Amino acid sequence: MADEFMKGLGLLSGAGLVWMVLAGWYKTPSFAGGQLTSAVPDNLTMYDQLAVILLEGMFWLAIFGAILFWVGIPLGRELYAKYNGE
């Protein structure tokens, strides 16, 4: 069980760090306003648009990755053991 916890924590930390860096670049127009939560600017190049896609992907990877390793896999193992008589 400790390995699933560490995998979930690694996904949450790593993807969360990438999300925080990209959100700081693209979703922080000024330090006086909302930080990390503002809207993405309109005039983006192709590489900026790819970074915004990566930004959104890292957010959902952090959330669902941690839930998968902390809840999904242990629950699946418990159900497997319960119904196979182990």
Q: What share of the chain is helix, strand, coil (3-state, %, to 5)?
A: 75, 0, 25
Burial class (CB in 10 A: 0-12, 13-18, 19+), 32: exposed
Q: Which two tokens stand for residue 39?
A: 């809207």
If one counts the domains in the chain, the total is: 1
- For 61, the domain range is 2-85
Q: What is the mean pLDDT of the chain?
A: 90
Question: How large is the average pLDDT for residues 66-83?
Answer: 93
Between 28 and 30, whose confidence is greater? 28
Q: Is 46 helix (H, G, I), strand (E, B) or coil?
A: helix
Between 40 and 34, whose confidence is greater? 40
Q: pLDDT category, 37, cuts 50, 70, 90? A: confident
Report pTM.
0.82
Distances (CA, A) of 59 to 1, 16, 28, 31, 72: 24, 7, 16, 22, 18
